[in-house]
Amino acid sequence: MSQSVVDVHDLSRSFGDKTALDGVSFRATAGQVHGLVGSNGAGKTTLLKHLLGLLRATIGSVRVFGLDPVRDPVGVLGRVGYLSEERELPEWMRIDELMRYTQAFHPTWDASYARELLETFALDPSRKIKELSKGMRAQAGLIAAVAHRPELLILDEPSSGLDAVVRRDILDAIVRAVADDGRTVIFSSHLLDEVERMSDHVTLMHQGRVTLSGVLDDVRGAYRRSRVRFVEHFDRPPALDTALVMEGSGRTWSVVHNGSIERFRHSVLARGGEIVESRDATLEEIFLARAGRSRPQVEAA
């Protein structure tokens, strides 16, 4: 088994009476691109802030490169690149000053890579951060995060503010290049298509808990969406083995299920129905099923 870059064990965190993280365990190894998916308030940013030492682990433990990021911020942050969701950068700085300032903290800074990215994004180094649009600010923050070629790149909602072209062509390329070098990327996103495109591992969070985590292909392979037709008319969704969410009415129902397809088929036959169509579920369908949401939301009985 490859060495852990990030190891979070049984981490819980509350803010007042709101539980942000509830017994979260999470592991990432070198070379992985790990997508964190979850609805608003699921605890993604709270988890990432723990990895950076911005929040201290009161219950549970966090280790990054085997170190506690709160006790050893220099040891951890020197090997990490981070792009925050708020894109918070000193507004009075110019872009070139931001680059030089960040460079001073990272001996591994690759000036030619930084220049190349500045040209790719068409950012003027003499412009002040406060004069930048939200997207340009995200681009500047991204360069500062990746130009020292960090061993771990943490991106909190990296697509926010970036246009479709930059998102698809440049962000994907940067993330892929980092992973190809054997380094690790952890990013959070609301955009499930982006997670499917960029990551090879996925962790699904809901209400402060990890509801699903694993290799993306394995996760997708474990869930199917099937359309079933019954002879009998059902006012409420019929109980079916391994079904997570059912949508529909009357005789035709659409079901997201996991586990053995044979077991599911037997269950459908036992209720006097048949599987009309079946395919791998998309990540969005899995996400909605695990988060307990669908349109209309109907839990399997």
Q: Does 71 bind other proteins (CB under 8 A)?
A: yes
Using alpha carbons, select from 212, 114, 124, 151 the residue that is nearest to residue 6: 151
> Distance (Å, rounded) from C-alpha 53 to C-alpha 244?
36
Identify whether the C-beta of residue 48 lies closer than 8 Å to the C-beta of residue 38.
no
Q: Does 110 bind other proteins (CB under 8 A)?
A: no
Q: Name 9's bridge partners.
A: 61
Identify whether the C-beta of residue 184 lies closer than 8 Å to the C-beta of residue 29.
yes
Q: Count residues binding other proteins (CB under 8 A).
A: 36
Closer residue to other proteins in complex, CB, 128/271: 128
How far from the centroid of its chain's Cα atoms is residue 259's Cα?
Answer: 24
In sequence order, the 6+-apart residues with CB closer than 8 A to the CB of 18 are none
Give the DSSP letter of residue 188.
Answer: E
> Distance (Å, rounded) from C-alpha 218 to C-alpha 107?
39
Applying CB under 8 A, among 24, 33, 37, 89 the residue interacting with other proteins is 89
Q: Which stretch binds other proteins (CB under 8 A): 81-89, 188-196, 225-233, 287-295?
A: 81-89
Site for other proteins in 128-157 (CB under 8 A): 130, 134, 137
Q: Does 100 bind other proteins (CB under 8 A)?
A: yes
- Residue written as tokens 């036992």? 270
What's the closest the beta carbon of residue 61 comes to other proteins, in angstroms?
Answer: 14
Q: Does 56 bind other proteins (CB under 8 A)?
A: yes
Q: Does 183 bind other proteins (CB under 8 A)?
A: no
Closer residue to other proteins in complex, CB, 54/191: 54
Q: Does 164 bind other proteins (CB under 8 A)?
A: no
Residues that bind other proteins (CB under 8 A): 52-56, 70-78, 80, 82, 84, 86-92, 97, 100-106, 109, 130, 134, 137
